[in-house]
């Protein structure tokens, strides 16, 4: 009799242990994607303009040392320190939108390296493992480098699949659905996208301007957020939007006024 009770209680005890450990596992797994998405989005904003994201960072004045390897892009100063200036909004470098025009440097993209290398190896590249002139650890903290590596590993999309580079139109973007999605954007940017001017009085830049002129930049910023924006612009990735929703908003934003 006692044996039977023991067997029954052991049965329930193990059952409870399995269930509760199982639950803890699910909770832990459910928490991870959110934290991971935050890290990836922050990495994407660092890729855009890291000194607007790293606490206390100073905007560099001199050219990044690797800049001297090229002569085609005539820009100078802090812009030469932005990952996007050398590797592109589409992560494809010389094989992407920056393969020609005034942004041309001839530098490779990050897409291939991100597919082949681990997050640790990508972090090492940012600490100068392949080339000491590519060492960003004097300006980026270990946690910034970790977010950048997470972004490279988990946050890139193959932009060429989603944007037609000739017409600059999103591939498969739905204007009507984008209009519904845009309600969120309109809260800060206004229904016509003109409430915030990113340019100057003389040369205004609105949501419609960026959407039409630079769909690659638009896609990056909508997915990952705008560095240093106040109020903080949410990253679609953190909101849980998929790429289709981003392309729908791009399609609708291209109907908004440019001036
Ligand atoms: C001044 C230009 C410049 C800037 C700024 C720059 N890089 Fe690079 N990066 C290079 C060059 C040049 C290479 C070497 C590419 C090659 O092999 O042709 C490189 C290589 C890489 C690679 C490895 C590519 C491979 O194929 O192994 C990664 C990843 C990378 N950069 C990420 C970044 C990130 C992230 C940032 C921003 C923190 C950044 N880079 C900023 C110029 C730059
Ligand atoms: C909470 C407010 C807020 C929301 C919501 C928001 N943004 Fe922004 N956005 C900003 C701010 C602030 C800036 C930076 C303005 C500046 O630099 O002058 C910005 C910048 C931008 C830029 C310009 C980036 C550049 O520098 O060229 C674009 C494009 C943009 N937002 C589009 C959108 C779209 C599309 C949505 C909806 C998916 C959206 N925003 C949602 C606040 C917001």
Percent of the chain with pLDDT over 70: 87
Rg (CA), the chain: 23
**Whole-angstrom Cα distance, residue 104 to residue 125?**
22
Closest by CA to 184, choosing from 230, 257, 243, 253, is 253
Q: Map tokens 């681990």 to a residue.
A: 118
CA of 199 to the centre of ligand 1 (A): 28
CA atoms of 199 and 201, how far apart (whole Å): 7
In the block, residue with structure tokens 């949501």: 207
User: Which residue, judged by its Cα, is nearest atom 38 of ligand 1?
Assistant: 83
Kindly give, in sequence order, each residue whose CB lies less than 8 Å from that of residue 121, ignoring residues fewer than 6 positions away. Answer: 129
Q: How many residues does the chain have?
A: 259
Q: Output the average pLDDT for the chain.
A: 91
What per-residue confidence (pLDDT) applies to 215? 98
Tokens 């659905």: give the residue. Answer: 177
Nearest-atom number in ligand 1 for the CA of 47 is 37
Among the atoms of ligand 2, which is closest to the Cα of residue 218? Answer: 29
Contacts of 213 (CB under 8 A, 6+ apart): 168, 258
Q: Range with the lowest mean pLDDT among 24-38, 91-105, 121-135?
A: 24-38
Chain centre to alpha carbon of residue 100: 23
Q: How far apart are CA 37 and CA 223, in angstroms?
A: 11
Give the number of whichever ligand sits closest to the CA of residue 239.
2
Residues with CB under 6 A from ligand 2: 184-185, 187-189, 196, 198, 207, 210, 218, 221-222, 226, 229-231, 233-234, 249, 253
In this model, does residue 240 exceed pLDDT 60?
yes
Mean pLDDT to the nearest integer, 241-252: 97
What is the residue with the minimal CA distance to atom 26 of ligand 2? 198
pLDDT exceeds 80 at position 17: no
Residue nearest to atom 41 of ligand 1 (CA): 83
> Is a pLDDT exceeding 70 seen at residue 28?
no
Contact 93, 110 (CB under 8 A): yes
- Smallest CA-to-CA distance from 86 within 120, 47, 118 is with 47
Q: What is the pLDDT at residue 16?
A: 45
Is pLDDT above 80 for 11?
A: no
Q: Whose CA is nearest to atom 18 of ligand 2?
A: 198
Q: Could you give the percent of the chain with pLDDT greater than 90?
A: 86
> Considering every ligand atom, which ligand is closest to the CA of 217?
2
- 113 CA → ligand 1 middle, Å: 10
Query: What average pLDDT does range 73-86 have in this prediction?
Result: 98
Residue 93 CA to chain centroid, in angstroms?
Answer: 16
Report pLDDT digits (tens) over 186-215. 999 999 999 999 999 999 999 999 999 999
User: Which ligand is nearest the CA of 196, by number?
Assistant: 2
Q: Which residues, including other chains, have CB under 8 Å from residue 176's CB and lie 6 or more apart?
A: none
Return the best residue to mutate from 233, 243, 249, 257 for the ligand 2 pocket (most ligand atoms within 8 A of CB): 233
Ligand nearest to the CA of 229: 2
Identify which of 98, 125, 150 to mutate to test ligand 1's pocket (most ligand atoms within 8 A of the CB).
125
């Amino acid at each position: 009799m006692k044996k039977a009770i023991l067997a029954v209680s052991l049965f329930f005890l193990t059952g409870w242990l399995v269930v509760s450990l199982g639950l803890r596992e699910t909770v832990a797994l459910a928490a991870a994607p959110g934290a991971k998405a935050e890290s990836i989005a922050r990495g994407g904003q660092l890729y855009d303009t890291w000194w607007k994201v790293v606490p206390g960072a100073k905007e560099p004045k001199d050219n990044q040392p690797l800049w001297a390897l090229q002569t085609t892009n005539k820009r100078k100063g802090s812009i030469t320190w932005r990952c996007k200036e050398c590797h592109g909004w589409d992560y494809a470098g010389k094989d992407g939108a920056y393969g020609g025009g005034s942004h041309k440097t001839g530098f490779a993209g990050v897409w291939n390296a991100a597919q082949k290398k681990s997050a640790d190896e990508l972090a090492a590249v940012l600490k100068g493992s392949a080339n000491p002139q590519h060492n960003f650890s004097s300006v980026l903290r270990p946690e910034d480098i970790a977010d950048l590596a997470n972004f490279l590993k988990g946050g890139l999309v193959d932009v060429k699949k989603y944007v037609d580079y000739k017409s600059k139109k999103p591939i498969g973007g739905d204007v009507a659905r984008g209009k519904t999605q845009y309600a969120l954007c309109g809260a800060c940017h206004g229904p016509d996208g003109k409430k915030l001017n990113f340019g100057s009085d003389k040369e205004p830049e609105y949501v419609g301007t960026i959407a039409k002129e630079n769909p690659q930049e638009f896609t990056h910023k909508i997915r990952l957020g705008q560095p240093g924006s106040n109020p903080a612009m949410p990253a679609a990735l953190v909101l849980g939007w998929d790429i289709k929703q981003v392309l729908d908003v791009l399609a609708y934003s291209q109907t908004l006024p440019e001036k």
